[in-house]
Amino acid sequence: MAEHEWMKPVRALVGKAYGRVYAWDRVNAPMIRHWCEMMGIENPAYTDAESAAAAARGGLVAPAAMLQAWCLEGAKLNNYPPGSTTENPYEALKLIEAQGYPSVVAVNSDLEFERELQLGERLYYTTRLESIGDEKTTALGTGFFVTLVMQYFSEQPGGDEKVGEQLFRVFKFKPAHAVKPSAEASAAPAKPKRPAPGISDDTRFFWDGAREGRLLIQRCKACGTLRHPPGPVCTACHSFEWDTLQASGLGTVYSFVVMHHPPVPPFDYPNPVALVELDEGTRLVAQLVGVDPGAVAIGQRVKVEFATFETSDGGDIALPQFRPLAG
């Protein structure tokens, strides 16, 4: 397909570098402590000044994964410290949007860290528009994969030092339902099928159980703690040994959403999706069935049932769904 004429000025932006965005605060102990508390990290290298001073690093450092947090704008959108650029590194997205591609979804992000940060360092990042892919049609719709790369620097007297990098890719698209069907394709297209989940050695038991009509919960063999979603290690005691418990299938709507927009082709709308708290204590996300989407309520008692769906890769999948209990 030939490229749209209007894409020319958008493509011309590829490679463009946008100016600095500064951190509001220098790397500091209180923010590190708050971050570690929220993330459940107890490494003394981050929060215990005395022990950090006695260790090889010689003082507190910031967790590498905190990199992006230093340069966030805060609760107010686009509220960056003095000296920060006023350019919009997302201008390519705005130009694409103006041509009738209103939706955006984050696709993936890669973080790279060059070194740990020490207290007192002042950070900033710059943004580069890395690439814009050719127009593509996915299950979500038709649009462009746009990749930005943010490079993080620490200001240093002898020249600023790169400390990390973040790649951020989004899909800027017009939703599938908004794409005008071509004349030959307009005759009742086949309904798209559900995407197959990624199944790993950690999660296979769950899907196999669903196929047998059993709702299984992963259980730590060492301490008995139940966990969901499945994972390789117990967060309570760090044991890698686990087996499963068959749930009663009874639970309570802990929270829910009713999806209206944007419609994703395999599903029917409105689409009620609940976070169900099982009587055993773990929670899982599942579709609600046999319910008026306007009448879903927190605290509603529900019971699992299983339905099998064809998947877009030619296979099928059994999924737990929940139906309100009468009364």
Contact residues for Zn ion, defined by CB under 5 A: 220, 222-223, 225, 234, 236-237, 239
CB 52 within 8 A of CB 116: no
Provide the minimum distance between the beta carbon of 218 and Zn ion in the complex, in angstroms, as a whole number.
10
**Token digits for 160?**
């600023």
Residue 280 one-letter amino acid? E
* CB-nearer residue toward Zn ion: 60 or 234: 234
* CB-nearer residue toward Zn ion: 114 or 202: 202
* CB-nearer residue toward Zn ion: 220 or 304: 220
Provide the minimum distance between the beta carbon of 44 and Zn ion in the complex, in angstroms, as a whole number.
23
Provide the minimum distance between the beta carbon of 235 and Zn ion in the complex, in angstroms, as a whole number.
8
Nearest-angstrom CA–CA distance, 191 and 49: 60
Provide the minimum distance between the beta carbon of 282 and Zn ion in the complex, in angstroms, as a whole number.
14
SS3 203: coil
Q: For the chain, what is the largest distance between any 2 Cα atoms, rounded to a whole number of angstroms? A: 74
Provide the minimum distance between the beta carbon of 205 and Zn ion in the complex, in angstroms, as a whole number.
17
Provide the minimum distance between the beta carbon of 239 and Zn ion in the complex, in angstroms, as a whole number.
5
* CB-nearer residue toward Zn ion: 9 or 231: 231
Nearest to 205 by CA among 237, 227, 238: 227
* CB-nearer residue toward Zn ion: 92 or 216: 216
Nearest-angstrom CA–CA distance, 223 and 205: 20
Nearest-angstrom CA–CA distance, 98 and 290: 40
Please confirm whether the linkage preceding 229 is cis (ω < 30° from 0).
yes
Terminal alpha carbon distance of the chain? 57
Nearest to 125 by CA among 168, 92, 157, 96: 168
Nearest to 70 by CA among 153, 168, 158, 147: 153
Please confirm whether the linkage preceding 262 is cis (ω < 30° from 0).
yes
* CB-nearer residue toward Zn ion: 165 or 280: 280
* CB-nearer residue toward Zn ion: 96 or 234: 234
* CB-nearer residue toward Zn ion: 80 or 242: 242
Nearest-angstrom CA–CA distance, 3 and 111: 32
Provide the minimum distance between the beta carbon of 233 and Zn ion in the complex, in angstroms, as a whole number.
9
Annotate 127-150 with b (16+ C-beta within 10 A) or e (fewer): bbbeebeebeeeebbbbbbbbbbb
